[in-house]
Amino acid sequence: MNSMASPSPRRPSILTLVSISAAGALSMNIFLPSLPAMARDFGVEYGFMQLSVSAFLGVSAVLQLLCGPISDRFGRRPVVLGSFAIFLLATIGALLAPTAGWFMLFRLIQAVVTTGFVISRAVVRDMVPAEQAASMIGYVTMGMSLVPMVAPTLGGILDETLGWRASFVAMGLAGFAVMTLCAVDLKETARSGGVPLAQQLVTYPILARSRRFWGYALTATLSAGSFYAYLGGAPFVGQVVLHLSPAEVGYWFAGPSIGYALGNFLSARYSTRIGMNRMILAGAVICSAFLTAALVVDMLGGLTPLVFFGSVAFMGLGNGMLLPNANAGMMSVRPELAGTASGLGGSMAVAGGAGLAALAGMLLDAQSGAVPLLTIMAGSAIASIGFIIWVMIRERQVISGG
């Protein structure tokens, strides 16, 4: 009888799962305080160098659609190890790049490391029943959320002491350490019978016909877009507009991460009691109110680091309340397509954020100040209110039979 039972895969440690995701977060955040210095070093405009954020996110959006089904077909372990091997080679290429164009090419290849966001959740789903998966994914997310708090600070210090390339050396060392950890601890967890890519793509039109899915997805896309626009524009605002050093910008970058962690706590504690849609609406209102207030202050000539980064900290709080509930809403539209909904919605959010980050990079200059960035962030957050209200109205109509 034992010979017929398929053995359960040995569970990787929570440290391994956190590290897989944290490596992607580190690669997105550690070098942000160095963007102005990198633009000067390569002799290009800030808007071009900012593409290392927005275009990176765009490639990541495509990978989020593909890496889950690919890991179903070929296994979690080879996809993770292969992704980190490619990431290490791309990091070496970025360090040795002679021009901004070559740097950008290798930077986009580095986006392969963000497959860890999806694969770590897939590994959790492989290991535990559905009712336990959300809790375990929560622990992984909490551990990963520490990285955006410390990575920009570390990057700012490295930039001031050793130059911007030191941040990419740190990326490479971290990537090698995580790949080694995975080689030792991450055994294959995927079982046979995963959904092939072609079959998963066929299910996308089913979701595309759902108004509720679009409402939740666009709410998440626009609210997360405010944060991604911030990632692309904040280094410029901090150093050029507010005259902060790279290290000081790094310190202030901890604000939204702290706010997001608090928002996640409130979401976990009160979403069941308050309700998913009302929690989303509350988060969207918090984001919009504080970003709009910062925009008004800036237009009146009173922008300070505390006003700018403080408003973004409250944006993080609002996103921490909104995004977990919006993601749950997307997956509740068609529960049998939860994985497809998560991948499609996540890809939309990252792709939308990439577009807003690129727009912020194009509009920012020394004369404009922070107004273009804050306008994009506030406008995106306000638009998210409209879409969650649309969802709430639609649900009331369905309940009333309208």
257-269: per-residue pLDDT in tens? 788 888 878 887 7
Q: Is the pTM of this model over 0.75?
A: no
Domains and CATH numbers, the chain: 11-187 (1.20.1250.20), 195-402 (1.20.1250.20)
Would you state the pLDDT for residue 85?
Answer: 96
Residue with the larger pLDDT of the pair 130 and 164: 164
Would you state the pLDDT for residue 177?
Answer: 95
Check pLDDT > 90 for residue 84. yes
- The whole-angstrom separation of Cα 395 and Cα 372 is 35
Residue with the larger pLDDT of the pair 346 and 266: 266
- The whole-angstrom separation of Cα 268 and Cα 227 is 21
Check pLDDT > 60 for residue 362. yes
Q: Residues of the chain with pLDDT > 90: what percent?
A: 30
- The whole-angstrom separation of Cα 363 and Cα 360 is 5
Spell out a b/e string for 280-307, using b for 16 or more CB atoms within 10 Å of the CB, else e: bbbbbbbbbbbbbbbbebbeeeebebeb
Check pLDDT > 90 for residue 355. no
- The whole-angstrom separation of Cα 342 and Cα 323 is 12
What is the distance of C-alpha 366 from the center of its chain? 28
Helix axes 211-236, 371-400, angle to 10 degrees: 170
- The whole-angstrom separation of Cα 288 and Cα 14 is 35
- The whole-angstrom separation of Cα 242 and Cα 29 is 20
Q: What is the DSSP string of 336-390?
A: GGHHHHHHHHHHHHHHHHHHHHHHHHHH--TTTTTHHHHHHHHHHHHHHHHHHHH
Q: How confident is the model at residue 97 (pLDDT cuts 50, 70, 90)?
A: very high
Minimal CA–CA distance to 387: which of 233, 221, 215, 251? 215
Average pLDDT (107-119) is: 87
Task: Write out pLDDT tens, residues 301-313.
Answer: 899 999 999 999 9
Would you state the pLDDT for residue 198?
Answer: 66
Would you state the pLDDT for residue 167?
Answer: 93
* Mean pLDDT for the chain overall: 82
Task: Write out pLDDT tens, residues 19-73.
Answer: 888 888 888 888 888 888 899 999 998 878 888 888 888 888 888 777 767 777 7
- The whole-angstrom separation of Cα 338 and Cα 332 is 7
Helix axes 276-299, 305-333, angle to 10 degrees: 150
Average pLDDT (95-123) is: 88
Of 55-64, 121-130, 258-267, 357-366, the poorest mean pLDDT is in 121-130
Would you state the pLDDT for residue 2?
Answer: 43
Would you state the pLDDT for residue 174?
Answer: 94
